[in-house]
């Protein structure tokens, strides 16, 4: 695939669907499945996903059998275009699986096999506006954040987010970036490492209205941030992205995904004072050419977590938590 002239975030999200499927840690997922198999409540399972993107997680959990008993699935994202795309994609997905789908007052109802129903409520809303609105209800049994927590400040995000869960709530946090971006083959080992280091620094320095909004080592930080926020870690494991060409090239649309990743690095480091402009431009061009020739291998280190809420440790949150602005993400 040749280098795109323009880049679409929506296409990027769609292009990484298969990659995410094979990257998710199966031990962590199986632990989630086992925990939910023991779930009992008077009503259906209540699921909240933040930063839902195109709705791929809903489809994935249906395909993997996690929602076969039905549920109420609330999915939010900051971007209205993502929510609109998710609605259309879920309709197409339901048709492809033979599920009857209807919609009433914006709620999608998928009639599953054996008469079970999955109700999907999609909403375009800022995360912290949503938290302020829902504060104190403790509605949800399962909280999902997929490829999202490394886009926000954990110390400001986790406590109010976990406060939305009910007494026995579970949190499933996946594809949390953990400090390694590897492009192979190396072009110049020292220069490649410098680019990686500076790229990670841009994550650590990123701000939203003067607040930190990302961390390049989110994965490892969750091991202590989750307990500090009142969640016991039940399972954790690696979920690295690994993209490499096979005999027929890159799978599906993953060449586009790679072009998008290189474009992201190039945009983040454009005009960086510690990078010679011409040399960095040539590095970017070479990486794009490697993708075109089916030569580039890409690895990103990530971690998945399953947590269980210990309600007694969450306590009362400072009021500023509910007025901290946030930008939703990339799932």
| pLDDT tens, the chain, 331 aa long | 999 999 999 999 999 999 999 999 999 999 999 999 887 777 899 999 999 999 999 999 999 999 988 999 999 999 999 999 999 999 999 999 999 999 999 999 999 988 899 999 999 999 989 999 998 888 899 999 999 999 998 888 899 999 999 988 999 999 999 999 999 999 999 999 999 999 999 998 876 555 666 689 999 999 999 999 999 999 999 999 999 999 999 999 999 999 999 999 999 999 999 999 999 999 999 999 999 999 999 999 999 999 999 765 544 344 344 344 433 333 3
Residue 147 CA, distance from chain mean position: 2
Which of 207, 255, 189, 294 minimizes the C-alpha distance to 7? 255
Residue 257 has, within 13 A of its CA and on its CB side, a CA count of 24
254-268 vs 277-292: helix crossing angle, rounded to 10 = 180
Cis peptide bond upstream of 185, omega within 30: yes
List the alpha helices (DSSP H) in the chain. 9-15, 17-23, 26-37, 56-63, 80-97, 127-134, 154-162, 189-205, 218-228, 254-268, 277-292, 311-314
Q: Could you give the dihedral angle defined by the CA atoms of residues 287, 292, 293 and 297, in that order, rounded to the nearest 10 degrees?
A: 50
| pLDDT at 139 (0 to 100) | 86
| Structural domains of the chain in order of their starting residue, each with its CATH number | 9-323 (3.40.50.150)
Q: String of b and e for 303-329 (b: at least 16 CB within 10 Å)?
A: bbbbbbbeeeebeeeeeebeebebbbb
- Which residues, 6 or more positions from 311, have their beta carbon under 8 angstroms from its beta carbon? 167, 230
Strand partners of residue 91: none
Could you tell me the pTM of the whole model? Answer: 0.91
What are the phi and psi torsion angles at 121 (to 5°)?
-110, 110
Residue with tokens 């040399």: 279
d(CA 19, CA 16): 5
| pLDDT at 327 (0 to 100) | 34
Q: String of b and e for 103-125 (b: at least 16 CB within 10 Å)?
A: eeeeebebbbeeeebbebebeeb
Helix (H, G, I), strand (E, B) or coil at 140: strand
Q: With contact defined as beta carbons under 8 Å apart, do 303 and 172 qualify?
A: no
């Amino acid at each position: 695939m040749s280098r795109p002239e323009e880049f679409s975030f929506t296409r990027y999200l769609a292009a990484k669907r298969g990659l995410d499927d094979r990257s998710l840690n199966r031990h962590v997922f199986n632990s989630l499945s086992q925990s939910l198999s023991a779930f009992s409540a008077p009503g259906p399972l209540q699921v909240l996903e933040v930063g839902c993107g195109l709705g791929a997680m809903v489809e994935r959990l249906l395909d993997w059998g996690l929602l076969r008993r039905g549920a109420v699935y609330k999915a939010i994202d900051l971007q209205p275009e993502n929510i609109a795309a998710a609605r259309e994609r879920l309709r197409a997905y339901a048709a492809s699986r033979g599920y009857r789908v209807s919609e009433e007052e914006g709620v999608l109802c998928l009639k599953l096999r054996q008469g079970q129903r999955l109700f999907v409520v999609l909403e375009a809303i800022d995360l912290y506006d949503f938290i302020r609105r829902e504060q104190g209800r403790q509605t949800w049994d399962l909280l999902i954040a997929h490829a999202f927590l490394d886009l926000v400040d954990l110390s400001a995000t986790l406590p109010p987010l976990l406060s939305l869960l009910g007494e026995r709530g579970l949190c499933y946090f996946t594809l949390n970036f953990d400090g390694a971006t590897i492009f192979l083959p190396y072009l110049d080992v020292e220069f490649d490492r410098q680019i990686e280091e500076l790229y990670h620094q841009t994550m650590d320095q990123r701000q939203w209205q003067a607040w930190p909004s990302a961390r390049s080592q989110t994965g490892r930080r969750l091991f202590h941030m989750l307990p500090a926020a009142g969640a016991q870690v039940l399972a954790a494991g690696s979920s690295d992205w690994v993209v490499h060409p096979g005999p027929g090239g890159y799978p599906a649309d993953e060449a586009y995904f790679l072009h998008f990743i290189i474009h992201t690095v190039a945009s983040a480091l454009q005009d960086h004072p510690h990078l010679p402009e011409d040399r960095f431009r040539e590095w970017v061009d070479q990486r794009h050419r490697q993708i075109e020739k089916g030569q580039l291998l890409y690895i990103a280190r990530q971690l998945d977590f399953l947590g269980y809420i210990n309600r007694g440790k969450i306590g009362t949150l400072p009021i500023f938590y509910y007025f901290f602005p946030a930008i939703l993400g990339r799932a």
